[in-house]
Amino acid sequence: MNFIKNNLANALTLGNLFSGCVGIVHLVSGDYQTTAICIIISLVLDFFDGFMARAMNSSSNLGGQLDSLADMVSFGFLPGMTIFVALIGNNYADFPWYYYSGFLITVFSCLRLAIFNLDDDQKYYFKGLNTPSNTILIFGLFYAFKETGAFSFLFNNEIYLLILTVVSSWLLISPIKMIAMKFKSKQLKDNYPKLALLIGGVLILLIFKTVGIPLIIIYYILISLIFQKQLK
């Protein structure tokens, strides 16, 4: 019983990793819907592994290391591969070297995860865009384009994709404080940023549906900028 209690959170983390691997395979093969499902599964497992560890008082250094390693695949390698797939299109025979630039996101995701592990200040806010949110932004844009044709200006122009890659990489390690859904107190005034994010995010998703997925992350960045002074 103690073995299950001590390792349930780690099992969820490893499930996140497995789902991320499956998502990458389907991304490369062109099955974007399955990739989307895998990302959702990874997001859910990534949330509940920490929740489960706290609930069962089974937090450990091993769990913290596993969490970052799993995130590196699901929310580091996967968005980098998304840009690569977007750039390469159907041109698998011969493509320019700069198509590999999407993996800058993977490199900076790794750096971001390492910085987060060493930074004790990021308890009630994130410093820079967290890797799950960045994955939702990058893959969300790509998925919306493939499903609805939205953001075609972005995916029909290699320069814009390269700019997106640079911006995404910078956001991951930027000094900008980002809202974290952790409640420091029960006072309403202390939770205005979280409530604004939650209400706005739901409205965006209801109005724009699939296209709203990446728009939620853009809104998240903007609302975090507005509430910079309250994030601490």
- Ranking 52-66, 97-111, 142-156 by mean pLDDT, the lowest is 52-66
Note the pLDDT tens digit of each residue in 79-116. 999 999 999 986 766 788 889 999 999 999 999 999 98
- So what's the pLDDT on residue 160? 96
Tokens found for residue 126: 């994130």
The half-sphere exposure of 161 on its side-chain side, counting CA atoms within 13 A, is 26
Mean pLDDT over each residue of the chain, to the nearest integer:
90
Instruction: Determine contact, residues 138/83, Cβ cutoff 8 Å.
Output: yes
* Statement: residue 121 has pLDDT above 90: no
Does residue 56 carry a pLDDT above 90? no
- From residue 225, how far is each of 24, 127, 189, 219, 222 by CA, in Å? 32, 12, 17, 10, 5
Contact call for residues 45 and 19 (beta carbons, < 8 A): yes
Buried b (16+ CB within 10 A) or exposed e, 151-185: beebbeeeeebbebbeebbebbbeebbbbbeeeee
Distance between CA atoms of residues 56 and 9, nearest Å: 9
Q: How far is CA 41 from the centre of its chain?
A: 12
Calculate the alpha carbon distances from 17 to 74, 223, 225 in Å: 6, 30, 31
Give 174-208 pLDDT, tens digit per residue: 999 999 987 666 676 768 889 999 999 999 999 99
d(CA 56, CA 69): 22
| pLDDT for the residue numbered 184 | 67
Reported as a pLDDT band with limits 50, 70 and 90, residue 39 is very high
pLDDT at 168 over 80: yes
Please give the torsion angle defined by the CA atoms of residues 125, 162, 82 and 123, in that order, rounded to the nearest 10 degrees.
-10
For the chain, report the end-to-end CA distance as a whole number of angstroms: 39
Structure tokens at 69: 């390693």
